[in-house]
Amino acid sequence: MTTASQQEPLAPGRRRLWTHVAVPAGLLLIAAVLVGVVALIQPHQKAAPVREAAPVNVQVERVAALPELADTFDITAVVEPNRVVKVAAEVPGRIERFGRRSRDVTWRGRVIPRESVVDEGEPVTAGEPLVHLNQDLLQARFTRAQAQFEYDEREYRRILDLYERGNTSKSELDDARTKRDVSRATLDEAARELERTTIAAPISGILNRLPRELGEYAKSGDIVAEIVDLDPVKVVVDVSERDVPYLSVGNRATVLLSNGEPQERTGDLTYINAIADEGTRTTRVEITVANDDYRLHSGQIVKARLTRRVLKDVIMVPLESVIPLEEGMIVYVARDGAAERRDVTLGFIKGRRVRALSGLTPGDLLIVTGHRYVGHGQRVTIVEPPAAQTRPADATP
């Protein structure tokens, strides 16, 4: 009988197989035991609670509708004279002297005395003499015409007396009357030419230029003076085809100028060109503005404020409160302690504010500061802005 000690040992291949299976299994068993022990040793931990996001501090502006708002736009304009009159000589003659003033004139803080010679750059009044031409030749012609008329007048009366007594014919009387009438017309012509040797200002304005010197000969039609009418003036703008349909002759307009400090003047639209410029597609519009102090001068660049229309119940909101997206625009309002997203449709811009056509109603609390840090439903806390930044909801810069 064979004992255990006498059993045959395992073959080498079977011994290796046993080692490969038994060792990993033992390691897994030991790891499982260790995990259980650690789990028993560690204290029981509770899950961390979900924390709610803190409210965002925002500043708001209560939305209000303006009862009436003018839809205006500013455009660059140029000042032009109301009229420029070029005074021409009507009869030929040598320039003998320039005119003298008939009264004292106050101009730009100084008094121009009576009997002083009119000079360029100074005001003149309609009817005042500007230039005197030499009268020698025309005076001689007038004297000759006057003598001829007086002779023909005497002859006519003599023949009329003879005709009334029956001593001459009707045809001889008619000839005498015709000669007398022709002589009278020649005398009138000579008298008028003599009068025209004194060239007077046809309008009141600024004597802009005296292009001819003393002693120079002026032919009939030559320009001897230029007068500029600067009261009123024309403020000229070129308005785009989009805005022209809103404008009408008689509409009021504001002219903005700056001569050391901002100033405004009002005027009326007095002309709208019926034909647009083919190159720029703009239309010439003229605004007539009073200029009794002559502060506006020809060629000056100013701004004209024109009104398209007057709108009712308009909601204007700050531009910075609007958030542009790839498609459309949004704003946020504060409602029940949370931010609420609103899609808005916008209109024209006026200063730093824009018209809201839809999406907002009067009474809404529009978020104007902090709106870029909130989302729909985000809790918000309304805080007051610093006093220096506070302005009414309908303020328009």
pLDDT tens, position by position, 248-258:
999 999 999 87
Question: Are residues 172 and 101 part of one domain?
Answer: yes
What confidence category does residue 29 fall into, taking pLDDT thresholds of 50, 70 and 90? Answer: low
Query: Average pLDDT for residues 188-196, to the nearest whole number?
Result: 95
DSSP symbols for 218-271 = E-TT-EEEEEEEEEEEEEEEEEETTTGGG--TT-EEEEEEESSSEEEEEEEEEE
100 within a domain of the structure (yes/no): yes
The verdict on pTM exceeding 0.95 is no
In the block, residue with structure tokens 């320009």: 223
Question: Are residues 204 and 108 part of one domain?
Answer: yes
pLDDT at position 4 over 50: no
How far apart (Å, rounded) are the C-alpha atoms in residues 329 and 327? 7
Query: Average pLDDT for residues 285-311, to the nearest whole number?
Result: 92
pLDDT at position 226 over 50: yes
Last residue of a domain, one of 225, 254, 287: 225
Query: What does the pLDDT read at residue 339?
Result: 94
Last residue of a domain, one of 293, 311, 329: 311
What confidence category does residue 51 fall into, taking pLDDT thresholds of 50, 70 and 90? Answer: low
Query: What does the pLDDT read at residue 36?
Result: 57
Take residue 262 and report the two structure tokens written for it.
């901002």
Residue pair 360/344 in contact by the 8 Å Cβ criterion: yes
pLDDT at position 37 over 80: no
What confidence category does residue 396 fall into, taking pLDDT thresholds of 50, 70 and 90? Answer: very low
Question: Are residues 246 and 260 part of one domain?
Answer: yes
pLDDT at position 273 over 50: yes
More confident residue, 321 or 26: 321
8 within a domain of the structure (yes/no): no
15 within a domain of the structure (yes/no): no
Query: What does the pLDDT read at residue 343?
Result: 95
Q: pLDDT (tens digit, 9 = 90+) per residue, 119-140? A: 999 999 999 999 999 999 999 9
269 within a domain of the structure (yes/no): yes
How far apart (Å, rounded) are the C-alpha atoms in residues 45 and 66? 61
What confidence category does residue 52 fall into, taking pLDDT thresholds of 50, 70 and 90? Answer: low
Question: Are residues 264 and 159 part of one domain?
Answer: no
Classify strands 329-335 and 282-289 as parallel, antiparallel or unpaired. unpaired
How far apart (Å, rounded) are the C-alpha atoms in residues 304 and 75? 5
Question: Are residues 371 and 285 part of one domain?
Answer: no
Query: Average pLDDT for residues 185-204, to the nearest whole number?
Result: 95
Cis previous bond, 113, omega within 30: no
Take residue 152 and report the two structure tokens written for it.
């023909």
Query: What does the pLDDT read at residue 170?
Result: 92
Residue pair 46/372 in contact by the 8 Å Cβ criterion: no
Residue pair 87/228 in contact by the 8 Å Cβ criterion: no
Query: What does the pLDDT read at residue 159?
Result: 94
Number of domains in the chain: 3
What confidence category does residue 118 fall into, taking pLDDT thresholds of 50, 70 and 90? Answer: very high
Q: What is the CATH number of the domain that holds 294?
A: 2.40.30.170
Question: Are residues 301 and 189 part of one domain?
Answer: no
Query: Average pLDDT for residues 227-256, to the nearest whole number?
Result: 94
Question: Are residues 292 and 239 part of one domain?
Answer: yes
- The residues near 150 (Cβ < 8 Å, ≥ 6 apart) are none
What residues make up the domain containing 322? 57-68+313-389
Residue pair 332/371 in contact by the 8 Å Cβ criterion: yes
Query: What does the pLDDT read at residue 257?
Result: 84
pLDDT at position 381 over 50: yes
Last residue of a domain, one of 292, 311, 330: 311
Mean pLDDT across the chain: 86
Q: What is the CATH number of the domain that holds 324?
A: 2.40.420.20
Query: Average pLDDT for residues 18-36, to the nearest whole number?
Result: 53
Query: What does the pLDDT read at residue 394?
Result: 46
pLDDT at position 392 over 60: no
Query: What does the pLDDT read at residue 28?
Result: 54
Query: What does the pLDDT read at residue 295?
Result: 87
In the block, residue with structure tokens 């610093």: 386
Query: What does the pLDDT read at residue 8?
Result: 45
Query: What does the pLDDT read at residue 385?
Result: 77
pLDDT at position 5 over 50: no
Question: Are residues 261 and 165 part of one domain?
Answer: no
Cα-based distances in Å from 364 to 147, 315, 317, 338, 353: 97, 11, 11, 13, 17
How far apart (Å, rounded) are the C-alpha atoms in residues 201 and 88? 11
Query: Average pLDDT for residues 23-30, to the nearest whole number?
Result: 55
- Lowest-pLDDT range of 37-41, 108-112, 314-318: 37-41
